[in-house]
Amino acid sequence: MFFHHNGTAPELVEKLTPLNGDGLAFKVITNRGTEVWPGGNVETFCTDHFVVRYLSDSTTSHKAIAGLLGRLADAGIDFIKTENLCTFDGKDAFSLGRGK
């Protein structure tokens, strides 16, 4: 999921954490292709365009994704794009983050 956020990664984490649910939770946040959470360097220059990867420990549904989008909208979080991370026949159909 892609967000417009005028702030730091830790501030974004603080806003997003209470909105996890329906089996979906964010696992990594990047900015300009660089991991900034967890374990990112606080000195990394960030723009206002963050990418947040949400994952589920099991199969998820479009209803769960729509629920997350609803919670984000209700909280006033500016999401600007979504991409589903799908698996087919048990294999990831998406690229892993850099270094993963």
Tell me the pLDDT tens digit for each residue of 28-40.
999 999 999 998 8
Task: Please state the pTM of the whole predicted model.
Answer: 0.88
Q: Which pLDDT belongs to residue 43?
A: 86
4/78 Cα distance (integer angstroms): 6
Cis ω on the peptide bond leading into residue 38 (within 30° of 0)?
A: yes
Does residue 47 contact residue 80 with C-beta atoms inside 8 Å? no
What is the full DSSP assignment across 42-81?
TTS---SEEEEEEEESS---HHHHHHHHHHHHHTT-EEEE
Question: What is the C-alpha R_g of the chain?
Answer: 13
Predicted local distance difference test score (pLDDT) of residue 2: 97
Domains, the chain, ordered by start: 2-74 (3.30.70.1570)
